[in-house]
Amino acid sequence: MNNIHGLGLGLRLNFLQDIQADGFLPDWWEIAPENWFDMPYYYREKFEETIALRPVVAHGLSLSIGSMEPVDRAFLQQMKDFLDRYGIQHYSDHISFTSLMGAQTYDLLPISMTKKMIHHISEKVKIVQDTLQRPLILENASYYYLADSDMREVDFINELMEHSGARLLLDVNNIYVNGMNHGFDPYAFLDQLELKYAAYIHVAGYRKDKNLGMLIDSHGAAVKKEVWKFLAYTLGKVQIPTMIERDNNVPPYSIMQKEYHTLEKVVANARA
Amino acid sequence: MRELEDQKMLMQTVFSPETETDPGLTIQKSLVLHRFHEVISHAFPLWYARVEEDAFVASLYAFMQQGAQSPQIWKTPDAYRKFIHTEQLFRQMPYVDDLLWFEWIEVALIMRYYSPVEVSTFSYDKAYRLSESGVLKNLNFKVFETDGIEQSGTYHLLAYYDFDTDSVFFREISEVLMLFLDTLDHSSLTEAITAIAELSESTEAEVMVFFEDTLRELLALRVIEER
């Protein structure tokens, strides 16, 4: 990731009015491109000013790379136009699916972890990369239902990265949440993950659903202590750009600034 | 193909109103429902306040089953609005189509892209049309007034994006102005004037005088623009 270094922050609509060129800025922004294909008219100028201040990674939700059907080429062209318009070099999405037979879910659904799926996604990755003329980065997703699979998740991701040529967006919160929900050790998972494929790191908050006894990757709360600890462990193994993701219950920019400073400390301590 | 079958099963499950017993599936279902619930209830606050929660959720599941197609979630309320009309849901609320249109058009006008333009001075020698920032609608209910939502009648509404305040304004307009603007949108200014003159048994000169100030204002507001 040639122009992405240091620490990033997800850019949200409600931050725009508080962002100043001479104020606090992260090293880079991550944006959800589908949310910015169209935007309120009065935000457009400010959005363009803001993303000109720092390098940007586009992190999408609607690619649906894991759906067992062809890539939506119209969507892909729309994405390319957007990335080209704003000169965004890096694009990521999730190892999951969000649409099937024309119906969108707007949330990530888990895919079968099988050799056939690896082959299928790898073919789609080639089309995506050829069309976008950019490398594709794929995030290890959180899941609650375990799809019909015959591989362990860590083996699936390693093999997918090797065969597809995609890079990995390493979401440490997702590893932690999946580990707790599905009974594996996140540290052992990380030890077995081929980190040479990792491009950048996500860290986010989760919440506990007490009724169902599962952790939810909500992106709607501050990062938990145990995830900071797990991030520190991760950073001891791989030093790549790292960012905080917050999509729900988004607090004011000033609060995210504080969490960003916590991230700075965790990264500095891990590297000390 | 087991991978595809699993995906079909999962889609059916998350789009089904039936309660799940598996905790993992229950969470996947609730996360998907939350997405739809949030974006649609936020787009239609007036309507959402008037509908029973159970009926609303049932309509969301019905909508999800027929397939929300846009990858851009902000467009989903428009598809939902059309679905409610097509499926003739909530007919016990006869104003539902008008109210959902009224709430949606505000979102649509806010999200629309407007090219920068220099507003020129009005002249009957120039050709005009309704701009992208203005929308006309005939309504059967007075949904644009909070206390009048259930009041039936014939109402002519102009909705437009106001570039000074960056908000959407609604203006109830006369039938004759509605007809004039509607005609203007489909034909020339001259034809619009002629049509109104014939309808009102006035001369074209009288029509021009009658509408001049209004057209001047609408041009300044960018509700109409030069062709």
The answer to whether B91 contacts chain A (CB < 8 Å) is no
User: Which residue among A41, A209, A214 places its CB closest to the CB of B166?
Assistant: A41
Per-residue confidence band for B187, with pLDDT thresholds at 50, 70 and 90: confident
Judge whether residue A268 has pLDDT over 80. yes
A-B C-beta contacts closer than 8 Å: 124
The answer to whether B1 contacts chain A (CB < 8 Å) is yes
- CB count within 10 Å of CB A30 equals 23
Q: Is residue B71 domain-shared with residue B166, that is, in the same domain? A: no
Q: Per the CB < 8 Å rule, is A109 touching B3?
A: no
Tokens (6 digits) for B181: 């603007």
> Do the Cβ atoms of A72 and B71 come closer than 8 Å?
yes
- Cα separation of A172 and A180, whole Å? 12
Q: Is residue B227 domain-resident?
A: yes
Look over chain B and give the mean of its residue pLDDT values, rounded to a whole number. Answer: 94
CA of A215, closest CA in chain B: separation in Å? Answer: 10
Q: Is residue B145 domain-shared with residue B63, that is, in the same domain? A: no
Judge whether residue A1 has pLDDT over 80. no
Number of domains in chain B: 2
Q: Is residue B147 domain-shared with residue B202, that is, in the same domain? A: yes
Domain with B44, as residue range(s), is 1-93
- Cα separation of A79 and A143, whole Å? 25
CA of B116, closest CA in chain A: separation in Å? Answer: 11
Q: Per the CB < 8 Å rule, is B73 touching A104?
A: yes
Q: Per the CB < 8 Å rule, is A107 touching B112?
A: no
Q: Is residue B127 domain-shared with residue B224, that is, in the same domain? A: yes
Q: Is residue B86 domain-shared with residue B30, that is, in the same domain? A: yes
Per-residue confidence band for B116, with pLDDT thresholds at 50, 70 and 90: confident
- The CATH number of the domain holding residue B206 is 3.90.930.50
Q: What single string gives the DSSP state of each residue in B8-75?
A: HHHHHHHT--SPP-SHHHHHHHHHHHHHHHHHHHHH-HHHHTTS-HHHHHHHHHHHHHH----SSGGG
In the prediction, which pLDDT does A114 show? 98
Q: Is residue B112 domain-resident?
A: no
Q: How many alpha carbons lie under 13 Å from residue A4 in its C-beta half-sphere?
A: 22
Q: Is residue B87 domain-resident?
A: yes
- Cα separation of B70 and B68, whole Å? 6
pLDDT tens by residue, B54-103: 999 999 999 999 989 999 999 999 999 999 999 999 999 999 999 999 99
Q: Is residue B109 domain-resident?
A: no
Q: Per the CB < 8 Å rule, is B7 touching A145?
A: no
Per-residue confidence band for B184, with pLDDT thresholds at 50, 70 and 90: confident
Q: Per the CB < 8 Å rule, is B24 touching A216?
A: no
Per-residue confidence band for B164, with pLDDT thresholds at 50, 70 and 90: very high
Q: Is residue B101 domain-resident?
A: no
Share of chain B above pLDDT 90, in %: 85
Q: Per the CB < 8 Å rule, is B32 touching A39?
A: no
Q: Is residue B73 domain-resident?
A: yes
Q: Per the CB < 8 Å rule, is A62 touching B11?
A: no
Q: Is residue B82 domain-shared with residue B141, that is, in the same domain? A: no
Judge whether residue A2 has pLDDT over 80. no
pLDDT tens by residue, A40-73: 888 999 999 999 999 999 999 999 999 999 999 9
Q: Which of A28, A136, A142 is nearest to A92 (CA)?
A: A136
User: CA separation (Å) from A133 to A33, A81, A83, A118?
Assistant: 16, 11, 10, 21
Which residues on chain B are in Cβ contact (under 8 Å) with A117? 3
Q: Is residue B214 domain-shared with residue B135, that is, in the same domain? A: yes
User: Which residue among B34, B111, B161 places its CB closest to the CB of A38?
Assistant: B111
> What is the three-class DSSP state of A57?
strand
Look over chain A and give the mean of its residue pLDDT values, rounded to a whole number. Answer: 95
> Do the Cβ atoms of B116 and B208 come closer than 8 Å?
no
Q: Is residue B196 domain-shared with residue B152, that is, in the same domain? A: yes
Per-residue confidence band for B119, with pLDDT thresholds at 50, 70 and 90: confident
pLDDT tens by residue, B210-225: 999 999 999 999 999 9
Instruction: Provide the angle, in degrees to the nearest 10, between the axes of the packed helices B76-86 and B53-66.
Output: 100
Q: How many alpha carbons lie under 13 Å from residue B108 in its C-beta half-sphere?
A: 18
Q: Is residue B104 domain-resident?
A: no
Which residues on chain B are in Cβ contact (under 8 Å) with A42? 166
Q: Give me the domains of chain A, ranges plus CATH numbers.
A: 7-271 (3.20.20.150)
pLDDT tens by residue, A145-164: 999 999 999 999 999 999 99
Q: Is residue B121 domain-shared with residue B60, that is, in the same domain? A: no
Q: Is residue B103 domain-resident?
A: no
Q: Is residue B1 domain-shared with residue B84, that is, in the same domain? A: yes
Q: Is residue B227 domain-shared with residue B124, that is, in the same domain? A: yes
Q: Is residue B130 domain-shared with residue B220, that is, in the same domain? A: yes
Out of B78, B93, B108, a domain closes at B93
